[in-house]
Amino acid sequence: MSEITSDDIMGFLVKVTEGLKPTTKKNKYSLLKNLFNFIKNTVDPDFHNPCNSAILTKTFRVGALPPWTILEREAVDEFIFRTKNPRNRLMLELMARGGMRIGEVLRLKPQDVRDRKLNLSSPKSGRVAEVVFIPQKVADRLREYISTADIQDDNRIFPLGYTRAREIVRKAGNKIGLHVKPHDLRRHAATYASRSGVPIEIVSKIILRHSNLSTTQRYLGKVSDTEAMYWIENIYR
């Protein structure tokens, strides 16, 4: 281990992270750095961590992320209500009201629907399964759509590809002059719940199904001075 150099680490990381996103590259670098720190802390205090290199730190540093789009409730309600196609509207509502990822919506099957509970198999988190809770009105429309379209239990409710699904979201936003991406709707579900007084633990564990609160906090966006004063007044009114 002591013979591994910073150049060796650079060559290895460049090879295994080729074509990956900057955040993924940074995570792999951080994991490797933590491994060597563990060796130093538990095995050999004199061990030199080869990841402690200025060039490595600079190469695998992630720049400031652009601000996320935070959609207001009125805007989301408007373009959902103006979407006349029942299938497309349901997809929008599952993301905006249930906080679902677009991939989760596309993989949904009738056998996963249990009234207001949707069972997700093989979720992104790596867990065996997860549950999404949706409003009763959305659940009723979903059940009616499945019945009307005569979709079999083991068939996908929305048999579309990612490109087509993203196009549906984009066109819905265009109706009111907004550039909207699928994940903006998931973030809206979290932000609207949080600003309606839902505890952040519920937003994190139930709506977004995150493993830690720090990830959820990034979803909630910045709070304006006006909004901050409004909530402070409500707390102590």
How far does CA 19 lie from the centroid of its chain? 21
> What is the rounded average pLDDT for all residues in the chain?
87
Give residue-wise pLDDT tens across range 117-164.
Answer: 999 887 766 677 789 999 999 999 999 999 999 999 999 999 999 999
- Structural domain includes residue 235: no
Domain count, the chain: 2
Over residues 181-189, the mean pLDDT reads 92
Shared-domain flag, residues 139 and 211? yes
Shared-domain flag, residues 79 and 167? yes
Chosen domain end from 59, 82, 99: 59
- The CATH number linked to 189 is 1.10.443.10
Shared-domain flag, residues 25 and 84? no
Nearest to 37 by CA among 28, 27, 29, 47: 47
CA distance 221 to 101: 18
Over residues 164-182, the mean pLDDT reads 95
Percent residues over pLDDT 70 in the chain: 87
Amino acid 68: pLDDT: 65
Shared-domain flag, residues 52 and 120? no
Element housing 91 (H / E): helix 86-96
pTM of the model: 0.68
Q: Which band of pLDDT confidence, cut at 50, 70 and 90, is reported for residue 235?
A: low
209: left (phi over 0), alpha (psi -120 to 50) or beta: left
Shared-domain flag, residues 146 and 209? yes
Shared-domain flag, residues 111 and 215? yes
Amino acid 226: pLDDT: 67
Over residues 185-207, the mean pLDDT reads 87
- Structural domain includes residue 157: yes
Amino acid 212: pLDDT: 75
Residue 194 has pLDDT above 90, yes or no: no
- Structural domain includes residue 64: no
Shared-domain flag, residues 53 and 88? no
Per-residue b or e along 126-154, where b marks 16 or more CB atoms closer than 10 Å to that residue's CB: eeeeeebebeeebbebbeebbeeeebeee
- Structural domain includes residue 139: yes
Q: Which band of pLDDT confidence, cut at 50, 70 and 90, is reported for residue 231?
A: low
**Is 114 in a helix, a strand, or coil?**
strand
Residue 59 has pLDDT above 80, yes or no: yes
Percent residues over pLDDT 90 in the chain: 54
Shared-domain flag, residues 100 and 142? yes
Shared-domain flag, residues 28 and 110? no
Shared-domain flag, residues 151 and 215? yes
Over residues 19-33, the mean pLDDT reads 88
Amino acid 168: pLDDT: 97
Give residue-wise pLDDT tens across range 69-97.
Answer: 678 899 999 999 999 999 999 999 999 99
Amino acid 110: pLDDT: 97
Amino acid 20: pLDDT: 85
Domain around 129: 73-230
Shared-domain flag, residues 174 and 120? yes
Amino acid 221: pLDDT: 61
